[in-house]
């Protein structure tokens, strides 16, 4: 693997600007955004009036805390174009989310929005040292999903040779990767893993490819998965973050330090809140990410609750960028359980289980209330060989899982080992939590 961590910047004067300079730029852009939202979008005008907020009450960046949150439901209530701040003749592109429940979220872009978007993608690619010398294979779906087209124009902007193959058709992906001398791969991390397996089955060795970097996003993944992808393709793999409500990919991206994703703070203002109280948390604490667009023309979005749980990293990065970094999201605030006053994410339990040999990543969490006390039970599958082992070994394993859960999440749990393949399997979104407290609420 190439050893240098030196990373290019597409707009070094902006990406490494002084924090004080950045803050005054953010304030100026925030006031413009609030004015535009108030005067052009009835939804915001009504919301501001209900909360007795005048659009010119933003005098400092801290004043953003006076503004109400925007949630996904607001997009649905204003379906399809009610959140747009410009007339349709100024909209040049429309994307929308898949909308697994209810109506999809519809987003629009002006010509300037598209130009900003491709610039932010150019930053993202440069952060992984992708240049005009690269051949980029974009295996994200081209269509209403923001991934394909989002990356496409930024890739052309840096001058790379772009192969818009879109998603699917794995054999063709491999043929093209080899024959067209692809150097950079863009797709979801799970598809990269799938491609790696198909490559091995097809007898293609990593030495047969020119691939040197991969930019993966669109879904959560672990550092363990990153190491596997890097090893199997012999590449640098970086993470990036975005969501269609505020733009699409390009909101935040990793540099080659690979220690969190730099948020493009001149275009998006990040806050971390307590998902229950809505209070803004001090810098560095874990909570829900809230984003405000600072330059969007077609669709200004104020304090959008992403539901992604993360923390902002205040320490400066060795790459020289001054923008704050965010950690890989560790779960969704919708999935959060409050057990004896402690916030617990099923993904934290999963992480503990994945780190213990003999445990399978199949588990079920049962939360109940005994008297006034919340109790957590964790059912976990173990491989046959362990299951039929002597009691002593089983007890030792149970004890170890209990200890690790207590040190990771801060609550004690009872652990029960179950035989392999006894817990339900899920094709789509898994339902691994049973909260019995909902049926038996606390007495008194
Ligand atoms: Zn960096």
**Per-residue confidence band for 430, with pLDDT thresholds at 50, 70 and 90:** low
293 versus 189: the higher-pLDDT residue is 293
CB 246 within 8 A of CB 268: yes
320 versus 358: the higher-pLDDT residue is 320
Tokens in use for 109? Answer: 């872009």
Cα separation, 21 vs 25, whole angstroms: 6
Lowest-pLDDT range of 5-14, 95-104, 435-444: 435-444
276 versus 321: the higher-pLDDT residue is 321
Coil/strand/helix, residue 326: strand
| CA 7 to ligand 1 center in whole angstroms | 8
| CA 230 to ligand 1 center in whole angstroms | 19
What is the per-residue pLDDT across 142-181, written as a single tens digit (0 to 9) for each? 999 999 999 999 999 999 999 999 998 999 999 999 999 9
pTM of the entire predicted model? 0.84
What is the per-residue pLDDT across 220-247, written as a single tens digit (0 to 9) for each? 788 888 998 999 999 999 999 999 999 9
Tokens in use for 361? Answer: 């990543």
**Beta strands at 304-310 and 135-138: parallel, antiparallel or unpaired:** unpaired
| CA 127 to ligand 1 center in whole angstroms | 8
Coil/strand/helix, residue 228: helix
- pLDDT computed for residue 413 by the predictor: 94
- pLDDT computed for residue 348 by the predictor: 83
CA distances from 316 to 124, 159, 262, 407 (A): 18, 30, 11, 29
Average pLDDT over residues 274-280: 94
Residue 240 forms beta bridges with which residues? 253
| CA 252 to ligand 1 center in whole angstroms | 11
At which residue do the structure tokens 């560790």 appear? 330
Using the CB atoms, write b or e for 119-150: b if 16+ within 10 Å: bbbbbbbbbbbbeeebbbbbbbbbebbbbbbb
Whether pLDDT at 251 is above 50:
yes
Average pLDDT over residues 25-35: 98
| CA 318 to ligand 1 center in whole angstroms | 6
Residue 337 φ then ψ, to 5°: -110, 145
| CA 184 to ligand 1 center in whole angstroms | 20
Q: How far is C-alpha 71 from the chain's CA centre?
A: 16
Half-sphere exposure of residue 418: CA atoms within 13 angstroms, side-chain side = 14
Cα separation, 53 vs 31, whole angstroms: 13
> If residue 185 lies in a helix (H) or strand (E), which one and from where to where?
strand 184-187
| CA 125 to ligand 1 center in whole angstroms | 13
Average pLDDT over residues 134-141: 96
| CA 324 to ligand 1 center in whole angstroms | 9
Residue 313 forms beta bridges with which residues? 325
What is the per-residue pLDDT across 174-209, written as a single tens digit (0 to 9) for each? 999 999 999 999 999 889 988 998 999 999 999 999
| CA 308 to ligand 1 center in whole angstroms | 21
- pLDDT computed for residue 439 by the predictor: 56
Strand order in 135-138's β-sheet? Answer: 161-163, 135-138, 184-187, 213-216, 236-243, 248-254, 261-263, 325-326, 312-313
Whether pLDDT at 444 is above 50:
no
| CA 228 to ligand 1 center in whole angstroms | 22
| CA 255 to ligand 1 center in whole angstroms | 5
Q: Dihedral of CA 87/89/93/96: which sign?
A: positive
């Amino acid at each position: 693997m190439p050893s240098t961590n030196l990373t290019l910047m597409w707009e070094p004067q902006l990406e490494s600007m002084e924090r004080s300079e950045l803050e005054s730029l953010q304030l100026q852009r925030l006031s413009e955004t609030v004015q535009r939202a108030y005067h052009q979008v009835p939804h915001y005008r009504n919301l501001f009036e209900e909360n007795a907020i005048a659009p010119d009450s933003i005098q400092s960046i801290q004043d953003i805390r006076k503004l109400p949150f925007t949630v996904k439901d607001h997009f649905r209530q204003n379906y399809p174009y009610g959140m747009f701040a410009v007339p349709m003749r100024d909209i040049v592109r429309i994307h929308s989310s898949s909308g697994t429940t209810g109506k999809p979220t519809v987003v629009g872009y002006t010509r300037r929005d598209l130009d900003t978007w491709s610039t932010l993608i150019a930053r993202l690619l440069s952060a992984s040292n992708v240049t005009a010398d690269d051949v980029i294979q974009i295996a994200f779906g081209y269509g209403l999903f923001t991934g394909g087209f989002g990356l496409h124009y930024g890739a052309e902007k840096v001058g790379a040779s772009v192969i818009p193959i879109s998603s699917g058709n794995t054999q063709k992906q491999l043929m093209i990767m080899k024959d067209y001398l692809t150097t950079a791969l863009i797709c979801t991390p799970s598809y990269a893993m799938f491609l790696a397996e198909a490559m091995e089955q097809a007898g293609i060795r990593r030495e047969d490819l020119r691939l040197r970097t991969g930019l993966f996003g669109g879904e959560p993944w672990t550092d363990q998965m990153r190491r596997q992808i890097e090893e199997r393709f012999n590449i640098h793999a970086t993470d990036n973050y975005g969501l269609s409500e505020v733009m699409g990919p390009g909101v935040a991206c990793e540099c080659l330090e690979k220690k969190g994703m730099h948020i493009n703070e001149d275009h998006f203002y990040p806050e971390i809140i307590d998902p229950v109280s809505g209070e803004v948390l001090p810098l560095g604490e874990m909570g829900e990410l809230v984003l405000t667009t600072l330059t969007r023309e077609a669709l200004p979005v104020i304090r959008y609750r992403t539901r992604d749980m993360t923390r902002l990293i205040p320490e400066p990065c060795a790459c020289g960028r001054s923008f704050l970094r965010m950690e890989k999201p560790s779960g969704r605030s919708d999935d959060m359980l409050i057990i004896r006053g402690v916030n617990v994410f099923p993904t934290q339990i999963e992480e503990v289980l994945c780190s213990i040999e003999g445990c399978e990543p199949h588990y079920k969490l049962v939360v109940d209330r005994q008297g006034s006390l919340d109790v957590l039970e964790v059912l976990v599958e173990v491989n046959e060989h362990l299951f039929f082992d002597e009691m002593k070994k089983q007890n030792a394993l149970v004890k170890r899982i209990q200890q690790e859960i207590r040190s990771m999440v801060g609550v004690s749990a009872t652990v029960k080992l179950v035989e392999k393949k006894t817990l339900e399997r899920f094709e789509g979104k898994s339902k691994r939590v049973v909260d019995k407290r909902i049926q038996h609420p606390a007495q008194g």
